Structure 1
Amino acid sequence: MKKLGSEFKEFIIKGDALNLAIGVVIGAAFTGIVTSVVENFITPLIELFISLFVDRGGDMEGALKVLNVRINGVDFNFSIIISAIITFLITGFVLFLVVKSVNHAKSLTAKTPEEEEEVTFTSEDYLREIRDLLQEKSDKNI
């Protein structure tokens, strides 16, 4: 039981759990922002676009209701589904841009390993090395 506690403590201290928690909190906050942008900017743009082609009394709400269907007293609000899809696409695109910029920043700060010059040995180098080894061996035997 003590080992389990120490493993959990190590897990928490390493920062993995902390990073995960921070990611969840930031994700939730980001979802609120994206939802607000979609509901207050994107959806009205879609309503405006639809109202240009569909005449439902000049009201954008009426124009968007074209997307909704009622079957046997059951409402299918496709406008809400479209809004959710747009929210998902915007969120995915923004996350893509964030990850791409972070990866680009990492590549700029990462030091490229300097190419090691290939050392070419000549026969004289090998002979010097053999001489030194023989000298060391003879010094040990004395």
Structure 2
Amino acid sequence: PAPRTRLLTPFRAILSGIILIVGLTGYGILHSRKMEQASETLKTATQTGQELLEQEDLIGANAAYQKAFEALTVLDRTDPAANDIRQTSRELLAINTQAGSPLFEMAEEAVDQIKQSGLDSWKSLFD
């Protein structure tokens, strides 16, 4: 019979160790980059979202705050500032998805309707 070879030789053990170290190092680098990218996305998306809110662009602000929300999820942050960003994101999402058009547009249409047809015809819609 042929001699049995050992499953784990010193060479195989060293090679396995090197592969494990390279794999863990690669994972660590990718994870670190992902965290850095999420941190940068959080800063820019929050800034952009705030500027768009000040300009009353709710749709654009919603998109920016959704990116910030995703970045917070990646970063796994639960501090009060992160919770404020999440809350703003949820409020913007609710405003933009609950109605057929943004709230400000509906209010402007209502004001135009009242100006054109008078207050009495507007009240009759709700009777």
TM-score normalised according to structure 1 size: 0.33
Tell which has more relative contact order, 1 or 2 (C-alpha 8 A, sep 6+). 2
Pick the structure with greater CA Rg.
1
TM-score normalised according to structure 2 size: 0.36
Structure number with higher strand proportion: 1
